[in-house]
Structure formats: C-alpha cells, structure tokens
Amino acid sequence: MSASNRSSGGRWIWGIVVLGGLTVTAGLEWQRGWVDLTALLPGPADKSRSDAQKPSVAAPKKEWSLPPELLEAQSEPELDEADIDDMEADLSLETGRGAIPAESLFDEFEDEVVDGVVSANFEELDDEAPAREKPAGPKRAEPPISNEQPTSRAAPLMELKQIAALESAGDYVAAQKELSRWYLQSPDERESLIPRLERMAKALYFDKQPLYYEPYVVQPGDQLRLIAKKHKLSWEYLSVLNRVEPQKIRAGQKLKVVPGPFGARINLSRHELVVLLDGSYVKRYQVGVGMDGLTPIGTFKVLDKTPDPTFYGPDGVIAHDDPQNPLGERWIDLGDHYGIHGTIGNQGIGKNESQGCIRMRNPDVEEVYDFLAIGSKVTIEH
C-alpha cells in the first residue's frame, strides 16, 4: 500500500473515533439535563413532551407533613358561646365588689376613701402605676368604679342588756366597742350613753391601771418613741398614760399599751370631734369649724404635728409664744393648709367662723395632739 493511502485511511479512523466520542458525550449530557437535543428536532416534537419530562433547574423540595390523625390533634376546636362564657368566668378577679371582667384588669384604679374613722396605715404606699390604655372595640356594660370603700351591711346592734352584762363582767374592751356602735348609729340614744362610755374609756385609755392588754416590757436600749411606733401610737401618749418621762424608762419596766392607732371623726353640724380607737369611743370635744362651708369634707391623714406653732398669715408672722397667735398651743396638719389647732380665748368654739380649719380649746387640742400620730386618719362629715 502506498504511503498516501495509509495516511488517508488513518484520518478516517480518527474521524470515526472522534465522532463516536462526541455522540456518547452528547447522550450523557442529555440524560443529565444539561443539553436539550429536542431543540434540534422539528416543532411538534417539543409540544409532545409533558411538563414532568422537562428538566428543572431547581425543583422544589417536598414539604414534610404530619399524618392526618396528628394534624387533627394539633388543631383547636371551635368554641361555642357557653365555652366563651366559662373562659371569661375563669379569667375574672374576685374582689369585695364581686367579679371584675378580665378586660377591666388594666383599668386605672384610684385611691379609695374610707367613710368613717379607720385605723391609720403606717406603711409606705407604692407609686401609682400608670394606667394602661384599653383596646378599642365594643365592650360589655360594666358597673362604675366608686371612690368609696365598699362596706358590708352593718351587723345588728347588740342588745343593751347584753352590753351591760359585759360591763359587769369587766370585759370593757368588748363592751366599749359595742356601746360605741350605738353611739355612732343611734342619735336618739347618744347623750344617754356618754356617762357609761366615758367611764370605761377612762379605765381603758387614760388610767395607768388596770391593764386590759398585754403590757410591754422595756428592753435594754429601748426608746419610748420606738416603743410607740411598734404600737402605732405617739410617744407623747405613752408618756402621759404611763406617767413616765421618755428619757427615764428602764429595762424590765412594764408599760401600759393599747393597739393603736387612734383616729378622729369630726361632725360639722354638731361641732363635735370624737377620738376613736378601732371604732371604740375614747373622748369627744367641742370644736369650731369653717364659715360658709369652707371646711373640706372627706378623710384625711395627719401629715405633721407641731407644738407651739408659728403663725404665717397674709399680714405677717406671729411668733409661737405671742398671745395673739391664732393657732394656740398645737397644730395638727391635715394638708393643703388645713389643720386642727388651738385658739385665743376659745374664739369660735361651737361656731362656723374659721377659714376652714378645726378650732379647739387649747387643753383639748393638747390631748388630741397626743392621741393622733403621724398617719392617723381624720374623717370630716356634715
């Protein structure tokens, strides 16, 4: 064979090998989806292929799902009206006023005013939390929130003969409390009860003996003001009650104490101030009140107490020891420039002549000053 024939045959062989390799490669690429050979075929062939056969660049992954029985267990059943009422009842808050709907729990609550004399609270009050805005939308009608303390219906008065039996048995604490309820609730009986009330009050709150409550035994290092604070009393009252000077108490000494605090109830129409201890009558005093309704009505707290006060008036300052000082011997501050104080020559007692303050005779205001402590409640009523 000539050299030219061998060269031509070799080229054909290499051409067939190359063409075969290209064909195999194209087939593999078409199977992998990298090359679409159908694009080279006539048009009808394109449309005959289904979407499932078409290659996808990024086929979506199949989402995992729970079996049907578990899906049913995960769903919440629809609630009927009875179910909704039961849930609202569970979310209600029980208070002295009854059940408050849960939707009103974020209402702004106001301080409640107590009608009548109540025991003083010597604990610090937390700052009032800001009100939270209610969500808009229709609401059920709710009872209005009152500023007055809800009170239960008063228990019936104990019969007077039963109270007399308590007196005879020496149970002055119980007898005085029940008789005081008659005094406060039965105007027609009031004056006839005074002798009995004052006799028991003298033994309970003025005399050093007898003891009606467990006495306090002075401990080493005790101070009278600290002992008084423990019992919510003033140190002045304990000093007078026990006939002892504050700096002369001694360890082991027994002091007469009562469970304070005292409070006061002022009736403007009767020009009367009554000192009470947990509702029990202690003593009453005649007072002068404001002209033309200037004395405010409501319940107040004793904010400060000042012996021998200095008067700061529109026409100048009058010293505490000046006989013309209109405040007398004591000043009991009720806030907003109102207070209980003494007088000059009993001026205005039993009358409506003051600028709003409560006037008392100087010996009387000195006693009330000793009874009331910082934080004691004073209620003023018509």
Q: How high is the pLDDT of residue 348?
A: 92
Number of domains within the chain: 2
| DSSP string across 238-268 | HHHHTT--GGG--TT-EE------EEEEEET
CA distances from 45 to 29, 40, 42, 50, 255 (A): 19, 10, 6, 11, 116
**Structural domain range at position 221:** 214-257
- Give the residue from 235, 257, 279 where a domain finishes: 257
Domain co-membership, 275 together with 251 = no
Q: What is the pLDDT of residue 131?
A: 34
Q: pLDDT at position 47, please?
A: 40
User: Where are any strands of DSSP class E within 232-351?
Assistant: 254-255, 262-267, 272-277, 280-286, 289-290, 298-301, 304-307, 311-313, 316-318, 330-335, 338-341
DSSP states along 118-177: -----SPPPPPPPPPPPPPS-----PPPPSBPP-PPPPPPPPHHHHHHHHHTT-HHHHHH
Burial class of 266 by CB neighbour count within 10 A (0 to 12, 13 to 18, 19+): buried
The answer for 154, left when phi > 0, alpha when psi is -120 to 50, beta otherwise, is: beta
Q: Same domain, yes or no, for 356 and 305?
A: yes
Indicate whether 234 and 268 sit together in one domain.
no
In the prediction, which pLDDT does 117 show? 34
Kindly list the averaged pLDDT for each block of 10 residues, start to end, along the chain of length 382: 53 62 56 49 43 37 42 43 48 37 35 35 34 33 36 79 96 97 95 97 97 97 96 97 96 97 97 97 98 96 96 90 91 96 92 95 97 97 94
pLDDT for res 31: 53
pTM equals 0.61
In the block, residue with structure tokens 């028991």: 200
Residue 257: count other Cβ atoms within 10 Å of its Cβ.
20
| Residues forming the active site | 341, 357
- CATH at 243: 3.10.350.10
Task: State phi, psi for 316 to the nearest 5 degrees.
Answer: 135, -170
Which helix H or strand E contains 353, and what residues bound it? strand 352-354
Token pair, residue 15, equals 């051409």
Task: Judge if 281 and 321 occupy the same domain.
Answer: yes
pLDDT at position 59, please? 38
